[in-house]
Each structure stands twice: as structure tokens, then as C-alpha cells.
Amino acid sequence: MATPMTANEIVKQLKKFGIPYKEYKNWRTHNRNHKGNWGPVHGLMVHHTGSDSKDQRALLYNGIPGLPGPLCHFGLDQDGTIHLVGWGRANHAGLGDDDVLKAVINEGRIPADNESNTDGNAHFYGVEIWYSGSHRMSDAQYSTLRLLAAAICDYHDWSAGSVIGHGEWGSPGKWDPGYRPGEMMDMGQVRKDIKATIAKGKPSKPGPGTPKPGPFPGKTYFGPGASNKFVTLLGKRLIEKGYGRFYSVGPGPKWSESDRKAVEAFQRAQGWSGSDADGYPGPTTWRRLFA
């Protein structure tokens, strides 16, 4: 049994995982809760919108004739930015197969859906990806989708088995998220990719030989062109704190964009923004990081 995150908690998770996001209108209180329960939640359902339009916020917020909004919790644009459009019960999942829901709860193999007898709107977070489904989503969208799934699973201590496509749920005629007309992506592979993203984000325990960092060495030791032991120390500590997903290799002594992104994600997780979350460590970041 999982209680849905509050609006503040999901924002904190997005910041923790360094996910770019924007808030739309009064999304925190925009929902369909008067029509039924939201919760317990058991997973994340992935959709495509069926359109390649660049701005689909109003559609997802307001809904369409016969299907009032919000139509999801998260809109995912072509640049990889999450748009928060609703929080609570949303019209995204519809009726689906109770056997599929049981498999999601048990994080096991998803069976073939053959009936629509269970209210999915009560039990799933929903992300609508802004693309037609008749072609692949953008690389930026897929990267953010994996991070979003990892952020939700991290909060609830779920595995990637809690993520399904709408086409696996049982709503007749659905094949989202698609990669060509009428064909859904290989959700087994999607879950494998999400599993790898979750693993990268898990904090590792510092070893007994982890060196003491000492005082902040100074801003000149970090940034483009910098190469020194403090960059390595910073990167190792970021991985220990759960930001290893930003490193495909390393960390090492040479400052990289991976270091900057990991530092920025850590700073945003502290609730900082603007110049306080620019991805470059200062004395306060250093002190918090090694506390």
C-alpha cells in the first residue's frame, strides 16, 4: 500500500534527480478527486499524447470534450522538460486488467491484458510524452523518462517492475508509448533501462578509507579546465550521496559536465535555485556535501 506523494514531495524528488521541470497554473490542486480515490498508488504509467505539438500544457490541463483534465500528472516535452499539470486523480489510465495490476504490485512479469475491469486512475502516476507515437520519442524525452521513473521508484522503494506502458494496461486499442504506427515500444527493454538508471542513483556507502575533505579549497579548483585531486574527491562523494547516475565514466581529476550536473542536482535537492544551483561548488555546498 503506497500513499501518493504530496506536491511538495514530488518537487523534491524531481530536484533530487536533477530533472528539469516547470509548474503550470494551479497544478498542485488540479485533480479529479471528487470522482474517486487517488491511491493507493502502485506504479507509473507511460503514455504518448498522439501529437508532435510543441506546447501541450493546456490540452493536458483542461482535457478534451468528454474527458476533463487533468489528463496526467506529468507532461514531458521534446526538450526533456517535465511540466507539472495536475496532482491527484487524473484521467489518464482508464479501465484496465486486474491481473496486470497484481503483477505491478508484485513487480513481476506483466501478463497479456485481456479485460478492462479495474480503475487505473486510482492507482498510477501518469506521464504523457509529447509525441505522436508513430516515431521514436526524442533522446531527451527518453532520458528524462528514465530519471522520472527512477525518482518515483526511489521515493516508494519500488523496482522498475512498477513501470508499465498504457498499451499493457488493457484499454482497448492503446499502443502507447509507441515507436512506429500501431506498435508499442519494447517495455521490457524500457524497464531494463530504468533499472540501470535506478541502480546508478542508489547511494553507495563510503568505505572506511574515505579521506576527510578538509576546508573548501576554493572555486578555482572547479570548473572548465580544472584538473586536481579535489575534483576526484568531489565526484566520489557525489556518487556516495546518490548522484552516480550522472557519471558514465569516472569520476576523475578532470572537471567535466558530469561533475557540474551532479553538483547542480545536489544543490537543487537542498532547495536552492538560480545562482545558488549553478553546478559549481562553493563553501556551503562543500560543507553540506561532506556533512
Burial grade of 3 (CB within 10 A; 0-12, 13-18, 19 or more):
exposed
Q: Rounded mean pLDDT of 179-193?
A: 95
Looking at residue 18, its pLDDT comes to 87
Looking at residue 210, its pLDDT comes to 52
Measured CA to CA, the distance from residue 72 to residue 148 in angstroms comes to: 14
Give the residue with greater pLDDT, 113 vs 76: 76
What is the 8-class DSSP label of residue 254? Answer: B
User: Predicted confidence band at 24 (pLDDT cuts at 50, 70, 90)?
Assistant: very high
User: Predicted confidence band at 208 (pLDDT cuts at 50, 70, 90)?
Assistant: low
Express each pLDDT in 105-141 by its tens digit: 999 999 998 899 999 999 999 999 999 999 999 999 9
The pLDDT mean for the chain works out to 92
Q: Rounded mean pLDDT of 101-108?
A: 94
Residue 140: φ, ψ to 5°: -65, -40
Q: What is the DSSP string of 206-232?
A: PPTTPPP--S---GGGSSTT-BSHHHH
Residue 286 in this model has a pLDDT that exceeds 80: yes
Residue 274 in this model has a pLDDT that exceeds 80: yes
Q: How many residues does the chain have?
A: 291
Looking at residue 254, its pLDDT comes to 95
Looking at residue 207, its pLDDT comes to 52
Domains recognised in the chain with CATH numbers:
7-201 (3.40.80.10), 219-289 (1.10.101.10)
Share of the chain above pLDDT 70, in %: 96
User: Predicted confidence band at 244 (pLDDT cuts at 50, 70, 90)?
Assistant: confident
User: Predicted confidence band at 1 (pLDDT cuts at 50, 70, 90)?
Assistant: low
